[in-house]
Chain A
Amino acid sequence: MGGYAIEVEGLVKRFGRVYALRGLSFRVPRGETYGLLGPNGAGKTTTIRAIAGALRPTRGRVSVLGLDPSREPLRVKALVGVVPELPSLFPELTVRENLLFIARVYGIPSGEAERRMRELLEFMGLEAVASRRYGQLSKGLKRRADIAAALLHDPEVVLLDEPTGGLDVVAASRLRERLAALRRSGKTILLSTHNIGEAAELSDRLLVIYRGAKLVEGTPSMLRRALSARRITVYYRAGGSEVEASRLEEALQEALASYDPSGLRVAPGSVSVTVKRALDALWAIRETLESLGLKVEDVEVLPPSWEDVLLHHIEEAEEGGRTCRCGVGGSSAW
């Protein structure tokens, strides 16, 4: 059966006076890995909880494998595996005891549970620590155990809430290898992260959310192409005269106004900015620097990094106030 494993339509969630989600809509095709990308507080965890049947939407509709999670939370929870944002197994129990407990809760017969457990311990590289208490494991190993626990009942849909959050680069990169392998297994995966590189590397499609609303959606390469911008860095030398950074920044903002600038950084000896029509913008930057008595030494023009793409969209949204207006009504501006 094809179609969508997860459908979210006009999802609004209000906590007291705070709107955590303001009319979010997206669909995840079966078997795909879908990246949910956004900075802290964007609404990623709230979205995952609503999909997992652990949150009642204020408004809007959620459907998981054809079921409404707030109406049939137990059925949805049985089909979905969740890796919560923070380590969440029982610290007093060993990894093995944790998995056996979870198997009992999901009613997995003991023979099958043993088999699944062995497979998953191997898959997540946990065999050596299976008899250690979860509470004593390193953060990276805890995350792997969390993922093994979420996969134990062989769920069709897996929701991962910032799985690499708080890990050092080595642990994070090892975990991403496992996640890439999981992706190949054909499960439907929703991966929340604030790391744009990770989202791009691991997802078939991704959705950037900000302040509870959709900023932009697409495949990783579409997203990058969507921005014809370039990241320009100009290295300069002070030709005798000292110029205050704030004055230089002001002058550059003015000169670049028509080039749609974002992420302007003024450092001693260099300025960098993401702009459209890079060649013309470069002339404008050079003129500005020289008018202030600064001399251009070198120039670098690169495609934007993922961070630039994200920042660009966020800045644009903030300037236009779009995330605020698109708010509760349902359809978002993008």
Chain B
Amino acid sequence: MSVRGGGLQRVVAIFIKDLKSYYSKAPVISWGILFPLTVIALLDLSARMLGEYRVVPAMLSITMLFASTSMSQVAVSFEKLSGAMQRVLYMPVGSAELVVAKSLGGIIYGIGGTGLAGILAYIMTGHVAMIRPAYFLAGVVLGSTLYSALSVLVSLYYNPVQAVAVLNIIRFSMIFLGGTLFPKALLPRILAGLAYFFPSVYITDLLRFGMYNTWEYVDPLTSLIVTAILLAATLYIAHRLALKVMLP
């Protein structure tokens, strides 16, 4: 018997299986949900001092980052640990299909998490600005996809323990140096310059522009282009890596 059905069917099957298996796993709950909630609570304080337009997009951006990267990491690392990744390698699943399928859970978590954080922000502040929803939406979708694919890449390349460490380095440098937690005005010049190396800068400014019609580091069009390029590069590298994992 040969394989029937297209790549889409395989991608969806893997995605649904991942959601069923991993949505309630400890790292997903703690990093993807509890941690962002804590950050949101903390940021509520600073919102009053620093201004909502600075803080609310940052907290949405951090939520997106943690939600999407934790889900994708679990979807790859847990399967490496259980041995099920071996089975996947023997299935007729293409390398691009594997990357997309493994990213989908994280994308959904990123988008959902950002939405939830938005609702929380609304509850805390009593209103939500959404002046340019298309930019906001682009930021959420591109950002979740980029973070999720990045996490798949890291989890495919490193063993599960290393992957957690590497992802935490990436996450926390994005929080502290990546233009999310600290507004540009508060950062020393050299650190503010460093921020441009992190995708979070562009994604946060996209959200900011979408909500408040203003930006802090980078103008929205540049942000859009840079995010799209970073996304394409990440997907490309993840795909090459998946090929290497599947046919070493």
- Whether, in the assembled complex, A54 has its beta carbon less than 8 Å from a beta carbon of chain B, the answer is yes
Indicate which residue in B9, B87, B94 contacts A74 across the interface (CB closer than 8 Å).
B94
Indicate which residue in A70, A74, A101 contacts B92 across the interface (CB closer than 8 Å).
A74
Residues in A with CB closer than 8 Å to B12 are 104
Tell whether A55 pairs with B247 under 8 Å between CB atoms, given A74-B3, A88-B87, A107-B3: yes
Q: Is the beta-carbon distance between A105 and B10 smaller than 8 angstroms?
A: yes
Q: Is the beta-carbon distance between A90 and B21 smaller than 8 angstroms?
A: yes
Q: Is the beta-carbon distance between B2 and A90 smaller than 8 angstroms?
A: no
Contact with A along B10-32 (1 / 0, CB 8 A): 10111001001110000000000
- Whether, in the assembled complex, A78 has its beta carbon less than 8 Å from a beta carbon of chain B, the answer is yes
- Whether, in the assembled complex, B1 has its beta carbon less than 8 Å from a beta carbon of chain A, the answer is yes
Residues in B with CB closer than 8 Å to A107 are 3-5, 9-10
- Which of B42-50, B78-86, B164-172 binds A? B78-86
Q: How far, in angstroms, from A73 to B17 measured CA to CA in the complex?
A: 23
Q: Is the beta-carbon distance between A77 and B90 smaller than 8 angstroms?
A: yes
- Which of A79-87, A182-190, A279-287, A304-312 binds B? A79-87
Nearest B residue to A78 via CB reads B3
Q: How far, in angstroms, from A86 to B1 measured CA to CA in the complex?
A: 25
Q: How far, in angstroms, from A108 to B5 measured CA to CA in the complex?
A: 8
Tell whether A73 pairs with B246 under 8 Å between CB atoms, given A87-B83, A88-B84: yes
Q: Is the beta-carbon distance between B90 and A82 smaller than 8 angstroms?
A: yes
- Whether, in the assembled complex, B248 has its beta carbon less than 8 Å from a beta carbon of chain A, the answer is yes
Q: How far, in angstroms, from A74 to B3 measured CA to CA in the complex?
A: 9
Q: Is the beta-carbon distance between A153 and B1 smaller than 8 angstroms?
A: yes
Residues in B with CB closer than 8 Å to A78 are 1-3, 92
Q: How far is the CB of A53 from chain B (nearest CB, A)?
A: 7
- Whether, in the assembled complex, A102 has its beta carbon less than 8 Å from a beta carbon of chain B, the answer is yes
Q: How far is the CB of A45 from chain B (nearest CB, A)?
A: 10
Q: Is the beta-carbon distance between A92 and B21 smaller than 8 angstroms?
A: yes
Nearest A residue to B90 via CB reads A82
Residues in A with CB closer than 8 Å to B79 are 90
Interface residues of A, dominant DSSP: loop
- Whether, in the assembled complex, B123 has its beta carbon less than 8 Å from a beta carbon of chain A, the answer is no
Nearest B residue to A109 via CB reads B4
Q: How far, in angstroms, from A92 to B83 measured CA to CA in the complex?
A: 13
Q: How far is the CB of A56 from chain B (nearest CB, A)?
A: 5
Most buried by B among A73, A75, A86, A153: A73
Residues in B with CB closer than 8 Å to A154 are 1
- Whether, in the assembled complex, A328 has its beta carbon less than 8 Å from a beta carbon of chain B, the answer is no
Nearest A residue to B2 via CB reads A78
Q: Is the beta-carbon distance between B248 and A104 smaller than 8 angstroms?
A: no
Nearest A residue to B11 via CB reads A105
Indicate which residue in B17, B83, B90, B247 contacts A86 across the interface (CB closer than 8 Å).
B83
Q: Is the beta-carbon distance between A93 and B2 smaller than 8 angstroms?
A: no
Q: What is the interface size of chain B, counting residues whose CB is below 8 A from a CB of the partner?
A: 29
Q: How far, in angstroms, from A102 to B157 measured CA to CA in the complex?
A: 25
Q: How far is the CB of A84 from chain B (nearest CB, A)?
A: 4
Q: Is the beta-carbon distance between A89 and B2 smaller than 8 angstroms?
A: no
Q: How far is the CB of B28 from chain A (nearest CB, A)?
A: 12
- Whether, in the assembled complex, B241 has its beta carbon less than 8 Å from a beta carbon of chain A, the answer is no
Nearest A residue to B14 via CB reads A105
Residues in B with CB closer than 8 Å to A75 are 2, 92
Q: Is the beta-carbon distance between B1 and A155 smaller than 8 angstroms?
A: yes
Which positions 71-125 of chain B face chain A at CB distance < 8 Å? 79, 82-84, 86-87, 89-94
Residues in B with CB closer than 8 Å to A93 are 17, 20-21
Q: How far, in angstroms, from A56 to B244 measured CA to CA in the complex?
A: 10
Q: Is the beta-carbon distance between B247 and A106 smaller than 8 angstroms?
A: no
Residues in A with CB closer than 8 Å to B1 are 78-79, 106, 108, 153-155
Q: Is the beta-carbon distance between B86 and A84 smaller than 8 angstroms?
A: yes
- Whether, in the assembled complex, A12 has its beta carbon less than 8 Å from a beta carbon of chain B, the answer is no
Indicate which residue in B4, B21, B248 contacts A56 across the interface (CB closer than 8 Å).
B248
- Whether, in the assembled complex, A117 has its beta carbon less than 8 Å from a beta carbon of chain B, the answer is no
Q: How far, in angstroms, from A54 to B22 measured CA to CA in the complex?
A: 26
Q: Is the beta-carbon distance between A86 and B248 smaller than 8 angstroms?
A: no
Q: How far, in angstroms, from A29 to B17 measured CA to CA in the complex?
A: 37
Q: Is the beta-carbon distance between A90 and B17 smaller than 8 angstroms?
A: yes
Q: How far, in angstroms, from A93 to B94 measured CA to CA in the complex?
A: 23
Q: How far, in angstroms, from A87 to B87 measured CA to CA in the complex?
A: 9
Residues in B with CB closer than 8 Å to A101 are 13, 17
Q: How far, in angstroms, from A105 to B246 measured CA to CA in the complex?
A: 16
Q: How far is the CB of A226 from chain B (nearest CB, A)?
A: 35
Tell whether A106 pairs with B92 under 8 Å between CB atoms, given A54-B246, A93-B17: yes
- Whether, in the assembled complex, A52 has its beta carbon less than 8 Å from a beta carbon of chain B, the answer is yes
Residues in A with CB closer than 8 Å to B248 are 55-56
Q: A75-B92, A104-B13 are in contact. List 15 more A-B contacts (CB 8 A).
A: A54-B247, A74-B92, A74-B94, A77-B90, A82-B87, A84-B86, A86-B83, A87-B83, A88-B83, A88-B87, A93-B21, A105-B93, A107-B5, A108-B4, A153-B1
Which 3 residue pairs spanning A and B have beta carbons closest together?
Answer: A107-B5, A107-B4, A104-B13
A-B pairs with beta carbons under 8 Å apart, 25 shown: A54-B89, A54-B90, A56-B247, A56-B248, A73-B92, A73-B246, A74-B94, A77-B3, A80-B90, A82-B90, A89-B87, A90-B21, A92-B21, A101-B13, A102-B91, A104-B9, A104-B13, A105-B93, A106-B1, A106-B3, A106-B91, A106-B92, A107-B5, A107-B10, A153-B1
